[in-house]
């Protein structure tokens, strides 16, 4: 703007926001502090890469000699995932309904929301450890863990989906003299069912993944086999297990796509 | 199906006594309504927006709970009914909504069949166990409203006028003893509005039942109504024949006069 004489200086309309500048500065300082506290240096990183190279070398070729052990672990994981998903989904259907604030009085929805929030509080690993300690080693602990995880996810999203429905349709069905259950079946469910299927399929997918994890803390499935292979340094067998898990997840993805297409 | 209730004595068929409703305490929207419906045919309720016409209809089938007063429906007090008793009374009251309120993801014929839910147990509803008689009745009704070829389309694929026909079929499917229609024509074009009113008139005559219709269009109302009820500020200010309504009445009901011809 050189050469232009202005009678008045205008302020830049974009003012610096000192609060957000301060927050960014704090985040930057904390990041530097954390790097130092963890002792993360380039030396440490390159040293680590050398180890990783050695590990990879021992993983190949994968060793499928103990395929029977692998298959039985896989079967158990699959069973855990399916049982937990079906039970979790059915329970979530009811819990989600009871948690919907537009359909239920507060004395029902508030405790139910609390319970669902509790299910979401802990990572499945922690829940798995709790169940292993309380019901003992094995698949039961894994199943219970994944049921809790499923409720935390599906019931919450399902309740939110119900809270977004059109109440006009509900009112119309209520006006026919339909009872509460019929109102739910014929005006609420048609509006939310395809979303519920979506959540359920996603949860089945995620349960398949998690079912291979719960075994690491002793709650049954392929994870246990994986963990003991790690501890015995059978890295070629570890590679075989990892490849199997990848195949399982891909299969799950494929199946869930089919289910989504059916219920679209 | 049409003449099952023809023999019933219709004096005091639907009697509203001193009906009051306050959404906010101390600020009543209905200030003591007294209406006695004993004759079949269309009863048009006119009045400006916000005067409580919708609230009145919703109090009759208890989608809204009245604050005070009685609604005697065939000598049972609807305003006090609860639970199963309320639903038994409610299923005899067919309701048609301004914005149709169809369940959009269900098909047209399924929407019509939902009119039977009040007669079914939850277990039957869960298994979609509609009786053959109901299914036949639903298809016949759909034929009567001229939508046979749309039976298996999803409700949200229909036009406004078609949706309202489905809404009426659903209400009639309840085999109601009274029809309530809350501004059934105000989302529709004038020609379709007349067709919808004709349909309501036809069913009310065929079934020999009264039809209470909230309506904005005074001309349309007086063309079809056997009786007009004018409401203003939560009270009934006119109750009589459509011929008896004068510009003075309309001024009283709606206020102002610039809108009159």
Nearest to B174 among A171, A177, A187 (CB): A177
Here the tokens at position A229 are 């292979």
The answer to whether B176 contacts chain A (CB < 8 Å) is no
Instruction: Judge whether B153 and B102 are in contact, CB under 8 Å.
Output: no
Nearest CA-CA partner of A119 in A80, A83, A159: A159
How confident is the model over A201-229, as pLDDT tens digits?
889 888 988 888 888 888 878 888 888 88
Rounded CA separation B22/A196 (Å): 38
Whether residue A40 has pLDDT greater than 50:
yes
Would the CB atoms of A173 and B95 count as touching at under 8 Å?
Answer: no
Would the CB atoms of A191 and B105 count as touching at under 8 Å?
Answer: yes
Mean pLDDT computed over every residue of chain A: 87
Q: Give the pLDDT band (50/70/90) at residue B3.
A: very low
B92 CB neighbours in chain A (<8 A) are: 177
Residue A64: count other Cβ atoms within 10 Å of its Cβ: 14
Q: Which of A52-61, A63-72, B128-137 has the highest mean pLDDT?
A: B128-137
Half-sphere exposure for B99 (CA within 13 Å, toward CB): 10
Q: List B residues 12-31 in contact with A (Cβ-Cβ < 8 A).
A: none
Rounded CA separation A197/A92 (Å): 12
Whether residue B6 has pLDDT greater than 80:
no
Rounded CA separation B238/B249 (Å): 7
Nearest to A187 among B84, B103, B167 (CB): B103
Interface of A with B (CB under 8 A): 166, 168-169, 171-183, 185-187, 190-191, 193-194
Q: List B residues 58-77 in contact with A (Cβ-Cβ < 8 A).
A: 61, 63
Give the nearest chain B residue to A193 (CA atoms).
Answer: B105
B130 CB neighbours in chain A (<8 A) are: none
Instruction: Write down the number of H helices and E strands in chain A.
Output: 12, 0
Would the CB atoms of B119 and A177 count as touching at under 8 Å?
Answer: yes
Would the CB atoms of B97 and A179 count as touching at under 8 Å?
Answer: no
Which residues lie below 8 Å from residue B145, measured CB to CB, with a gap of 6+?
B165, B166, B168, B169, B199
The answer to whether B125 contacts chain A (CB < 8 Å) is yes
CATH number of A67-262: 1.10.3720.10
Q: Is B190 helix (H, G, I), strand (E, B) or coil?
A: helix
Whether residue B5 has pLDDT greater than 50:
no
How confident is the model over A24-39, as pLDDT tens digits?
999 999 999 998 888 8
Would the CB atoms of B117 and A191 count as touching at under 8 Å?
Answer: no
**In chain A, domain spans:** 67-262
Whether residue A133 has pLDDT greater than 50:
yes
CA B200 to chain CA centroid, nearest Å: 9
How much is the pLDDT for B187?
Answer: 87
In degrees and rounded to multiples of 5, residue B127 shows phi and psi of -90, 5
> How close B101 gets to chain A, by Cα (Å)?
5
Here the tokens at position A247 are 């195949």
For residue A239, is it left (φ>0), alpha (ψ between -120 and 50) or beta?
alpha
Nearest to B117 among A166, A168, A176 (CB): A176
Give the nearest chain B residue to A192 (CA atoms).
Answer: B105
How confident is the model over B28-57, as pLDDT tens digits?
999 999 999 988 999 999 988 888 899 999
With a cut of 0.90, is the ipTM above it?
A: no
How confident is the model over B50-77, as pLDDT tens digits?
888 999 999 998 999 999 999 988 778 8
Would the CB atoms of A169 and B114 count as touching at under 8 Å?
Answer: no
The interaxial angle of helices A189-211 and A67-99, nearest 10 deg, is 150
Rounded CA separation B225/B145 (Å): 20
Would the CB atoms of B125 and A185 count as touching at under 8 Å?
Answer: yes
Distances in Å between the Cα of A208 and the Cα atoms of A120, A135, A198, A223, B51 are: 18, 22, 16, 12, 58
Here the tokens at position B155 are 């409700």
Give the nearest chain B residue to A172 (CA atoms).
Answer: B101
B103 CB neighbours in chain A (<8 A) are: 169, 172-173, 186-187, 190-191
The answer to whether B116 contacts chain A (CB < 8 Å) is yes
Would the CB atoms of A178 and B89 count as touching at under 8 Å?
Answer: no
B119 CB neighbours in chain A (<8 A) are: 177
A177 CB neighbours in chain B (<8 A) are: 87-93, 117-119, 174
Give the nearest chain A residue to B176 (CA atoms).
Answer: A176
Give the H/E segment covering residue A30.
helix A18-38
Q: Give the 3-state DSSP-derived string for B151-166, with helices as H, strands as E and coil as C.
A: CCCEHHHCCHHHHHHH
Give the H/E segment covering residue A95.
helix A67-99
Mean pLDDT, residues A69-92: 91
Mean pLDDT, residues A168-176: 92
In degrees and rounded to multiples of 5, residue A42 shows phi and psi of -65, -35
Rounded CA separation B207/B168 (Å): 13
Would the CB atoms of A177 and B105 count as touching at under 8 Å?
Answer: no
CA B194 to chain CA centroid, nearest Å: 16
């Amino acid at each position: 703007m050189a050469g232009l004489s202005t009678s008045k200086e205008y302020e830049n309309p974009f003012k610096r926001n000192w609060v957000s500048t301060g927050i960014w500065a704090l985040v930057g300082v904390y990041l530097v502090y954390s790097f130092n506290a963890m002792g993360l240096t380039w030396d440490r990183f390159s040293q680590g890469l050398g180890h990783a190279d050695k590990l990879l070398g021992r993983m190949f070729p994968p060793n499928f000699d103990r395929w029977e052990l692998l298959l039985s672990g896989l079967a158990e994981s699959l069973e855990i995932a399916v049982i937990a998903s079906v039970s979790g989904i059915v329970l979530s259907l009811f819990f989600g309904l009871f948690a919907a604030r537009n359909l239920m009085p507060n004395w029902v929805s508030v405790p139910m929301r609390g319970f669902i929030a509790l299910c979401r509080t802990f990572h499945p690993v922690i829940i798995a450890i709790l169940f292993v300690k309380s019901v003992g080693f094995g698949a039961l602990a894994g199943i219970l863990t994944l049921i809790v995880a499923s409720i935390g996810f599906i019931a919450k999203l399902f309740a939110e989906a119900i809270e977004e429905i059109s109440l006009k349709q509900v009112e119309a069905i209520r006006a026919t003299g339909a009872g509460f259950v019929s109102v739910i079946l014929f005006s609420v469910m048609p509006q939310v069912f395809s979303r519920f299927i979506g959540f359920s399929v996603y949860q089945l997918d995620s349960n398949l993944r998690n079912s291979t994890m719960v075994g690491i803390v002793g709650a049954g499935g392929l994870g246990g086999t994986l963990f003991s292979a790690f501890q015995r340094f059978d890295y070629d067998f570890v590679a075989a297990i990892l490849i199997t898990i990848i195949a399982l997840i891909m299969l799950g993805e494929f199946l869930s796509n089919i289910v989504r297409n059916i219920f679209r | 199906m049409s003449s099952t209730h023809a023999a019933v004595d219709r004096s005091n068929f639907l009697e509203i006594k001193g009906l009051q409703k306050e959404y906010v305490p101390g600020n009543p929207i209905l200030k003591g309504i007294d209406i006695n419906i004993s004759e079949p045919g269309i009863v048009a309720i006119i009045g400006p927006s916000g005067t409580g016409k919708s609230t009145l209809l919703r109090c009759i089938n208890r989608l809204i709970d009245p604050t005070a007063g009685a609604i005697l429906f065939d000598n049972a007090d609807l305003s006090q009914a609860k639970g199963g008793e309320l639903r038994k009374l409610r299923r005899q009251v067919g309701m048609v909504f301004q914005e149709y309120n169809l369940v959009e993801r269900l098909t047209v014929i399924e929407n019509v069949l939902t009119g039977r839910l009040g007669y079914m147990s939850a277990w039957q509803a869960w298994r979609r166990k509609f009786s053959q008689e109901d299914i036949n009745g639903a298809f016949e009704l759909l034929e009567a409203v001229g939508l046979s070829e749309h039976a298996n389309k999803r409700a949200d694929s229909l036009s406004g006028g078609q949706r309202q026909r489905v809404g009426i079929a659903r209400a009639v499917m309840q085999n109601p003893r009274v029809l309530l229609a809350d501004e059934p024509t105000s989302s529709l074009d004038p020609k379709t509005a007349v067709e919808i009113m004709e349909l309501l008139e036809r069913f009310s005559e065929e079934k020999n039942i009264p039809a209470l219709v909230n309506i904005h269009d005074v001309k349309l109302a007086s063309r079809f109504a056997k009786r007009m009820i004018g409401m203003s500020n939560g009270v009934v200010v006119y109750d009589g024949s459509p011929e008896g309504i004068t510009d003075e009445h309309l001024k009283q009901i709606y206020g102002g006069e610039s809108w009159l011809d």
